[in-house]
Amino acid sequence: MYGKEAQVPGQADVTSPFAPQAQAPAAACAPVPSAGQYPTWEKLPKQTTLPDPWLPLAYTTTDSEGGSSPNFASDVMAGKGKNRIQTPEEWYQCRQPEILQMLQEYQYGYYPDHSQETVKATRSGNTVNIEVSAGGKTGKFSATLSLPSVKPAPVVINIGGMSNQPYLQAGIAVVGFDYTRVAPDSNGKTGAFWDLYNGRDIGVLTAWAWGFHRVLDALNQTVPEIDASRVGVTGCSRLGKAALAAGLLDKRITLTMPMSSGVQGLGPYRYHGLSGQDETLENSKSGAGWWTDKTLGTFVNHAENLPYDAHTIAAAIAPRALVIDQGTGDQFTNSKGTSVIVYPAAKLVYDWLGVPDQIAMSVRGGGHCDMSGFNSVLPFVTKILQNQTITKDYNDLGSYGSPMTTTYPWATAVPKA
């Protein structure tokens, strides 16, 4: 199962700030399985608490050293597993790339190799037409620009619409694109992404993430009024799940802004019933199986065997910025679980990496995809994209109170950075 250290396909845009120097040997990383050869749920311990983000997959499986011990699962959950990551350098060289590949294997499907694509963009007024070619095939879609008076401006790319005016007034450009022209929210294989990649086991969330990235390519080519080195991505609900994937899979994204994203976004697979409609892996995979790859479906009724949870996705974005939106009146997603479990667990990794101010939790009143969410996160957006000084405390979990630290017992065993 485990072979040579694997490259993450199509991940040229995901890098580490701790790139090894020429004179220093790279860390000896844990072995990573080849694509399609990852351990099935039967080979993974049942973890009733959030998995330890510092434990490589190779030392999590029940056939690894000590895996047959009756204490193996409890040790793994408590941060007592063998060969844990010990330094930020080791995280960026070994663990972060491993997580990116693991998430593509188990959840997203493998992102296409962008080096094999050609992107052509043309602009007509506030419309940018995008044409992507690969393997003799071509997919087309477009994006719409809303530009502030001050230029060049940072930009937030969104799908599904957002509260534009406060952002424009703050000097932030807003760009939207029709995600259904990239891939439909169904099993249908129409749209620009499937015109190129039909036949691959890739989730629609990944297809929409690819759309964000190709829009950014087009902005770089055709819109000098935008500073494409300062980029946020956002969407709400299923589109928030896609924005999360977009931020995860492209290092050019400065700020990831998932709104009311729920399960398969930043809602936990474990502890799923704290608020909302008890959104689970099972009911989300049953209702919209196309969002993620087929492999994730093999964990239906075995979600606690997944070697990751939503905090792992969030942590893998570091050191880049992440702001998480949830409303206390959200009738669908598990806002409380995201706020008191996923966020503080991910923040431990951000803190350990020395970037505690790059992750934020925006707990607001209001319901699912309430447009007030965009206003609630805006101060943090201006901090990240415009270097503004802000006073709002994004570590305040509001009426949810304090983090549920019992849900991530490895918090007492954070490696010494």
What confidence tens digit (pLDDT) does each residue in 317-354 have? 999 999 999 999 999 999 999 999 999 999 999 999 99
DSSP states along 188-247: ---SHHHHHHTTS---HHHHHHHHHHHHHHHHHHH-TTEEEEEEEEEEETHHHHHHHHHH
Under the banding of pLDDT at 50, 70 and 90, the label for residue 160 is very high
Q: Which residues contact 194 (CB under 8 A, 6 or more apart)?
A: 139, 183, 188, 207
Comparing 16 with 81, the larger pLDDT belongs to 81
- From 6-20, 63-77, 226-240, the region with the lowest mean pLDDT: 6-20
For the sheet containing 127-134, what is the strand order? Answer: 118-124, 127-134, 137-146, 173-177, 153-158, 226-236, 255-259, 321-327, 359-364
CA atoms of 5 and 19, how far apart (whole Å): 17
Please give the radius of gyration of the chain, using alpha carbons only, rounded to the nearest integer: 20
Whether 237 is catalytic is yes
3-state secondary structure of 325: strand
Q: What whole-number distance in Å separates Cα of residue 117 and Cα of residue 331?
A: 41
**CA atoms of 103 and 32, how far apart (whole Å):** 12
Longest dimension (CA), the chain: 65
Note the pLDDT of residue 25.
Answer: 52
| C-alpha distance from residue 60 to each of 8, 40, 45, 415 (Å) | 20, 12, 7, 17
What is the tens place of the pLDDT at every residue in 101-142? 999 999 999 999 999 999 999 999 999 999 999 999 999 999
pLDDT computed for residue 247 by the predictor = 98
Statement: residue 7 has pLDDT above 60:
no
| Residues 273, 415: Cα–Cα separation, whole Å | 31
Query: Given 114, 272, 311, 368, which residue is catalytic?
Result: 368
Confidence (pLDDT) at 16: 34
18, pLDDT greater than 60: no
Whether 302 is catalytic is no
Reported confidence tier of residue 375, pLDDT bands at 50, 70, 90: very high
Is residue 3 scored above 50 in pLDDT? no
pLDDT at 24 over 70: no
d(CA 30, CA 408): 23
What is the band of 26 on the pLDDT scale with cuts at 50, 70, 90? low
pLDDT recorded at residue 4: 32
Q: Are 389 and 383 in contact (CB under 8 A)?
A: yes
Average pLDDT over residues 375-387: 98
Burial bucket for residue 163 (CB in 10 Å: 0-12, 13-18, 19+)? middle
The answer to whether 323 and 377 have CB atoms below 8 angstroms apart is: yes
Question: Computed from CA positions of residues 221, 223, 225, 227, in that sequence, does the dihedral angle turn out positive or negative?
Answer: negative
CA–CA dist 414, 408 (Å, integer):
11
d(CA 369, CA 387): 27
For 56-201, where are the alpha helices, taking DSSP H only? 72-77, 88-90, 96-103, 164-169, 192-197
Q: Which one of the listed residues 114, 142, 213, 237 is annotated catalytic?
A: 237
Among 107, 118, 111, 84, smallest CA distance to 8 is for: 111
Please state, in angstroms and rounded to a whole number, the distance separating the CA atoms of residues 208 and 231: 16
Tens digit of pLDDT for each residue in 37-96?
Answer: 999 999 999 999 999 999 999 999 999 988 889 999 999 999 999 999 999 999 999 999
Supply the pLDDT for residue 65: 87
